[in-house]
């Protein structure tokens, strides 16, 4: 073989060729061994590298989980904080709601108490006014007296409106549906509002009806009173009509007028509180613009809606539909407010009056005496009993307030007096309390209720009816 950098060697001989073959074979073996070793090394590297990769992946995953756990903990902390804030907010809302409900209930109690207290002197004023002999007045004084009467009626209407709104706001009005005939309600309203319409130069016509409805008679009466009052206020001339007609399984109760009408742009506003139509007549000066808002809210309580059709310059029609009632199932009891006025006189009949308000007692006594009644007027039932027992007398009629100052009530007073006389006397309850509870209780006992300020004409009619019934 030639040495590196040396001269070329001569061609190898046989021995050298054999040796060359051996060397080539050895190189082949070494290459094979080297390849095996390299394969092992590569395999080991690959195996160990996979484990390392897995280790790295596990390490990275652990870090990722730790990071995500930290993030989740932070999110949970934020959620807990937000939940705490929400719980605090909800607690504050519930507290505010409770305070608002208590404030509403307190306002309702205040308005009811104020209405009761204000109606006591108002009741006395109405009774005193009735005792004045109008025949002895000159035209100017008679006109002034009518003005005083209208002012008292307006004041009573405003008090009633405030009480209705307060009871609606507090949820204190609950329908007590039953079957009743419309004609008695219509007759009563015709008498009351016919005279009011007449003073405004209007005529009120009530269409006779035999229809009955299934609804709450007191709430329906409140609706019709507001509709009739509105019709009178916004009608300068012409007439007003109230009637009812059958519509399928319902009865449509309607009030028509020939008033100023309602422009289309105002149609959505008329049921808003405190809204009054532009160009209203002078009769609306005592109005707060609450009548129609009360009507709509009561109609919703009754499960119906108030509808209106109107033509500016020609008039309006307000109507509501109620379920038909069975005329054979209407109540037989006739309340004193619904009675026609009999023609009998009192002829010195003894009437006992119990009321804790001295001014109401004096005014009632004067009114009854002007009707030719003998009167025992007391603030406590014990005093009335003393007069009855000592005088050995029997009253023919009892008039009492419900809430008496000594903590007792008018029902107890009536029972106490009737327990001491041979023949129980019929009674009339006169009270500012117009609650469903009291009306139901008195209905059970057959005692009519008149609300303060009492209308003298209604009182006289109720008294005459009871006395006439007792003399049969």
Whether residue 430 contacts residue 454, with contact meaning beta carbons closer than 8 Å, is answered with yes
Q: Within this chain, do residues 301 and 343 fall inside the same structural domain, yes or no? A: no
Sign of CA dihedral 7, 12, 18, 20: positive
Region 426-451 average pLDDT: 86
For range 121-136, the mean pLDDT: 77
Quick one: pLDDT at residue 274? 64
Structure tokens at 353: 């009056």
Query: Could you tell me if 351 and 323 lie in one domain?
Result: no
Looking at per-residue pLDDT, the higher value among 87 and 108 belongs to 87
Return the structure tokens found at 36: 């095996």
| CB 438 within 8 Å of CB 449 | yes
CATH number, domain of 260, equals: 3.30.565.10
The helix-helix angle for 410-418 and 381-391 (nearest 10°) equals: 20
b vs e for 238-263, b when ≥16 Cβ sit within 10 Å of the residue's Cβ? eebbbbbeeeeebbbbbbbbbbbbbe
User: 272, 306, 329: which is the final residue of a domain?
Assistant: 329
Residues 257/309, Cβ–Cβ less than 8 Å: no
Q: Are residues 325 and 204 in the same domain?
A: yes
Distance from C-alpha of 388 to C-alpha of 397, rounded to nearest angstrom:
13
Q: What distance in Å separates the CA atoms of residue 274 and residue 254, rounded to the nearest whole number?
A: 24
pLDDT of residue 139: 81
Q: Are 441 and 176 in contact (CB under 8 A)?
A: no
Q: 360 and 448 share a domain?
A: yes
Residue 111, domain member (yes or no) = no
Q: Residue 197: exposed, middle, or buried by beta-carbon count in 10 A (0-12, 13-18, 19+)?
A: buried
- Look at the block and give the residue holding tokens 């609300």: 451
Domain-embedded: residue 367: yes
Residue 26, helix vs strand vs coil: helix
Higher pLDDT, 290 or 310: 310
Quote the CA–CA distance of 472 and 463 in Å, as a whole number: 15
Q: For 188-232, how does the pLDDT look when each residue is reduced to its tens digit (9 = 90+)? A: 788 778 878 888 899 999 998 989 999 988 789 889 988 998 899
* Percent of the chain scoring above 90 in pLDDT: 24
DSSP string, 105-153: HHHHHHHHHHHHHHHHHHHHHHHHHHHS-GGGS-HHHHHHHHHHHHHHH
Please check whether residues 243 and 263 belong to one and the same domain: yes
Q: Are residues 270 and 316 in the same domain?
A: yes
d(CA 261, CA 392): 63
Residue 136: burial class (beta carbons within 10 Å; 0-12, 13-18, 19+): exposed
Among candidate residues 329, 355, 378, the one where a domain is terminated: 329
With cut-offs at 50, 70 and 90, classify the pLDDT of residue 286.
Answer: very low
Whether residues 280 and 341 share a domain: the answer is: no
Which residue would you say has higher pLDDT here, 137 or 53? 137
What's the confidence (pLDDT) of residue 69? 75
What does the alpha-carbon distance between residue 133 and residue 47 come to, in Å, rounded to a whole number? 126
Give the separation between CA 260 and CA 267, rounded to whole angstroms: 13
Q: Which residues pair with 245 in a beta bridge?
A: 252
Give the ranges where 200-332 is alpha helix by DSSP (H).
217-233, 291-301
* 248 found inside a domain: yes
Q: pLDDT tens, 367-396?
A: 999 999 999 999 988 998 999 898 889 999
Say how many CA atoms lie within 13 Å of 30 toward its Cβ. 6
Quick one: 285 and 343 in the same domain? Answer: no
Is 309 in the same domain as 214?
yes
Could you tell me if residue 77 is inside a domain? no
Note whether residue 340 is domain-resident: yes
Residue for token pair 């009892």: 398
Cβ atoms of 283 and 232 closer than 8 Å: yes
Q: How many angstroms separate the CA atoms of 377 and 204, rounded?
A: 38
Range of the domain at 350: 336-471
Q: Could you tell me if 431 and 466 lie in one domain?
A: yes
| Position 404 in a domain | yes
- DSSP E strand stretches across 212-306: 212-215, 239-247, 250-257
The pLDDT assigned to 444 comes to 86
The tens digit of pLDDT for each residue in 293-332 reads: 888 988 998 999 999 999 998 999 999 999 998 876 664 3
Mean pLDDT of the chain: 79
Whether the pLDDT of residue 261 is over 80: the answer is yes
pTM of the model: 0.53
User: d(Cα 279, Cα 268) in Å, to the nearest integer?
Assistant: 17
pLDDT band at 24 (very low <50, low <70, confident <90, very high): low
Distance CA 155, CA 151 (A): 6
What b/e readout covers 268-279, taking b as 16+ CB neighbours within 10 angstroms? eebbeeeebbee
Domain boundary pick from 299, 329, 359 = 329
pLDDT band at 282 (very low <50, low <70, confident <90, very high): very low
Compute the average pLDDT of residues 324-346: 57
Q: What is the CATH number of the domain that holds 425?
A: 3.40.50.2300
If we measure between CA atoms, which residue out of 427, 439, 432 comes closest to residue 454? 432
Paired sense of beta strands 427-431 and 397-400, if any: parallel
Q: For residue 438, what pLDDT band results from cuts at 50, 70 and 90? A: confident
For residue 51, being part of any structural domain is answered with no
User: Quick one: DSSP state of residue 328?
Assistant: G
Mark whether 294 and 404 lie in a shared domain.
Answer: no
Domain presence at residue 153: no
| Cβ neighbour number for residue 431 with a 10 Å cutoff | 23
**Does the pLDDT at position 161 exceed 80?**
no
Q: Token digits for 428?
A: 């009339």
Number of structural domains (the chain) is 2
pLDDT-based confidence at residue 342 (cuts at 50, 70, 90):
very low
Distance CA 116, CA 438 (A): 15
Q: Which residues on adjacent β-strands are paired with residue 310?
A: 316
* Whether residues 314 and 343 fall in one domain: no
pLDDT of res. 452: 84
**Residue 350 — very low, low, confident or very high, per pLDDT cuts 50/70/90?**
very high
């Amino acid at each position: 073989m030639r040495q590196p950098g040396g001269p070329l060697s001569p061609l190898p001989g046989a021995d050298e060729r054999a040796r060359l073959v051996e060397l080539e074979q050895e190189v082949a073996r070494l290459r094979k061994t080297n390849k095996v070793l390299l394969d092992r090394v590569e395999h080991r590297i690959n195996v160990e590298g996979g484990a390392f990769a897995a280790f790295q992946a596990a390490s990275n995953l652990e870090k990722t989980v730790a990071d995500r756990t930290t993030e989740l903990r932070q999110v949970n902390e934020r959620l807990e904080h937000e939940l705490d804030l929400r719980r605090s907010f909800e607690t504050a809302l519930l507290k505010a709601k409770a305070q608002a409900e208590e404030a509403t209930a307190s306002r309702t109690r205040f308005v009811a108490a104020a209405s009761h207290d204000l109606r006591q002197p108002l009741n006395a004023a109405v009774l005193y006014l009735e005792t004045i002999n109008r025949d002895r007045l000159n035209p100017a004084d008679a006109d002034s007296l009518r003005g005083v009467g209208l002012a008292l009626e307006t004041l009573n209407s405003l008090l009633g409106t405030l009480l209705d709104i307060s009871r609606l706001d507090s949820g204190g009005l609950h329908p007590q549906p039953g079957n009743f005939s419309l004609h008695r309600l219509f007759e009563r309203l015709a008498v009351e509002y016919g005279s009011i319409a007449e003073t405004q130069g209007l005529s009120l016509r009530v269409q006779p009806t035999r229809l009955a409805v299934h609804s709450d008679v007191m709430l329906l009466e409140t609706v019709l009173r507001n509709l009739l009052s509105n019709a009178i206020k916004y009608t300068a001339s012409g007439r007003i009509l109230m009637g009812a007609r059958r519509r399928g399984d319902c009865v449509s109760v309607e009030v028509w007028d020939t008033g100023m009408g309602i422009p289309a742009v105002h149609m959505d506003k008329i049921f808003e509180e405190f809204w009054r139509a532009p160009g209203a007549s002078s009769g609306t000066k005592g109005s707060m613009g609450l009548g129609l808002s009360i009507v709509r809210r009561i109609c919703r309580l009754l499960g119906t809606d108030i509808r209106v059709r109107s033509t500016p310059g020609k008039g309006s029609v307000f109507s509501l539909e109620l379920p038909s009632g069975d005329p054979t199932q209407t109540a037989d009891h006739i309340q004193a407010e619904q009675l026609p006025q009999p023609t009998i006189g009192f002829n010195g009949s003894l009437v006992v009056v119990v009321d804790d308000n001295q001014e109401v007692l004096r005014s009632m006594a004067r009114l009854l005496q002007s009707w030719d009644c003998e009167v025992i007027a007391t603030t406590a039932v014990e005093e009335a009993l003393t007069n009855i027992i000592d005088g050995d007398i029997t009253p023919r009629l009892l008039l009492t307030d419900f809430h008496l100052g000594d903590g007792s009530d008018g029902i107890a007073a009536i029972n106490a007096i009737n327990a001491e006389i041979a023949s129980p006397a019929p009674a009339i309850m006169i009270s500012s309390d117009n609650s469903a509870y009291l009306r139901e209780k008195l209905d059970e006992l057959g005692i009519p209720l008149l609300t303060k300020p009492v209308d003298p004409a209604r009182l006289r009619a109720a008294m005459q009816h009871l006395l006439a019934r007792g003399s049969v």
